[in-house]
Amino acid sequence: PMLSLLPVLLPALKQMRRMPLTQKAVWQPPGCSGLQDVLRCPFSSLEEDNLSLNTLIERADGLEERLQEAAGVAQPFACKVIETATTAAVRAFCDEAGTVEVSVNATSSAKLLLGDVRGVRVSATSISAAGIRASFFDISAADIQLQPWAPLSNPPKLPNLRRSLSADFSVRFSQDDLNQSPVLFGALQEVLRELLRSGISSAIGQVLPENSESLSVSLVKVESLQAGQIVLVADGSLRQTDGTMTTLEGMRIRTSILVSQADRCILLDKPELISTFEGLGAKLEVGLPFLRGATIPVAEGVALRGLQVQDGAVFARGEFSLSPINYEQIMNSMQQPVTRTPAATASSSPSQPSRSPPPSRSALVPSGTPNMG
């Protein structure tokens, strides 16, 4: 936008250069109304008026409005600069990024630099960062109050939020995103392990320990995402109490996904083990239901408003809150000394402590548990 003013400013500067020093340098070419107002300094009467901060902001806003009008730009210049810098930062942080759009809304550049932001929105497609892939990601926040960086104040102030911030988000994960994201794929494997553990515990009438080595589950792939249900393909093995090993390869588990806003969790409802029978040109699927489902707690500060599984994708929307950063608490935690306990060696203790035998499986089962098998 500033470059568009050069064809008008250069002839004016050349003509003012030829004027005597005693002559007032006021020039306005014919057919260019309003240039004199653009070139007039809004702070020329600082010595005459006792200006406050609000007056300085108003005059800075007036100067920017005249420059925007002359350049034919409707957006404050600082907003455009921050949008360009944020777009570059997002692309630098991501391993892959398709389209990235950043929108910053503020009344003026002066108010933006003072921390008054009307709204910010960042959206991206085909994004991959920190082991997570997403087909679409969008985050937006309104009425943001920032504390600008003030290094010359006493004490110096670091950039921060003046008050808590609530932001809306929406994200879409396709089937390929779930299969190719190490973080999401690993999380689904742990969810599947918990689902099988709770289902097997109900089936055998005993509580299978969470860290039990008798259950081994390896997620192979996410097969489908349709009609509110997700189908997972996994290989598993279960060691029985008599020492025999039961192995299932390519087992398919189907479950519905729901959101409970009251309990702040994601429900894996009506899980079932799918068996497929083929013959005589027909294919039949039979679901063997588990006796129990599973829940996934939602992180603190995050509220899920909707979770849809449809057309081969998972679409989630909600909001999260951000609080001002407590720099003093962070500095105090970094300055606390770290106490380390010296490791015990075989030479330091002449006698070995006696080890109690591991508890039997019956000790892990609460009394009165009915046999559901």
3-class secondary-structure state, position 5: helix
pLDDT number for residue 201: 60
CA angle 51, 52, 57 (to 5 degrees): 100
Residue 43, CA atoms < 13 Å, CB-side half-sphere:
9
Give, as one character, the DSSP assignment of residue 108: -
132: β partners: 129
pLDDT number for residue 215: 73
pLDDT number for residue 29: 45
Measured CA to CA, the distance from residue 259 to residue 324 in angstroms comes to 29
With 0-12 CB in 10 A as exposed, 13-18 as middle and 19+ as buried, what is 137? Answer: buried
- Helix H, strand E, coil C: the string for 162-207 is CCCEEEEEEEEEEHHHHHHCHHHHHHHHHHHHHHHHHHHHHHHCCC
pLDDT number for residue 12: 53
With 0-12 CB in 10 A as exposed, 13-18 as middle and 19+ as buried, what is 212? Answer: middle
With 0-12 CB in 10 A as exposed, 13-18 as middle and 19+ as buried, what is 298? Answer: middle
* Among the listed residues 43, 102, 38, the one whose alpha carbon sits nearest the alpha carbon of residue 72: 38
pLDDT number for residue 4: 54
Give, as one character, the DSSP assignment of residue 346: T
Q: Where are the alpha helices (DSSP H) in the chain?
A: 6-18, 35-39, 53-71, 77-93, 109-113, 175-180, 182-204, 327-335
Sorted by sequence, the CB contacts under 8 Å of residue 296 that are 6+ apart come out as: 191, 265, 266, 268
pLDDT values of the chain reduced to their tens digit, one per residue, 373 residues: 555 555 555 555 555 555 554 444 444 444 444 444 444 454 444 444 455 777 888 888 888 888 888 888 888 999 999 999 999 999 999 999 999 999 999 999 888 888 889 999 999 999 999 999 999 999 999 999 988 877 777 777 888 898 999 999 999 999 999 999 999 999 888 888 877 777 666 555 555 655 556 778 889 999 989 989 999 998 888 777 777 887 878 888 899 988 888 878 888 888 888 877 777 777 777 777 877 777 888 888 899 998 999 999 999 999 999 999 888 888 888 877 655 554 443 434 444 444 444 444 333 334 343 333 3
- Cα–chain-centroid distance for residue 176? 20
Measured CA to CA, the distance from residue 88 to residue 137 in angstroms comes to 17
Measured CA to CA, the distance from residue 95 to residue 128 in angstroms comes to 5
Measured CA to CA, the distance from residue 209 to residue 219 in angstroms comes to 20
pTM above 0.75, yes or no: no
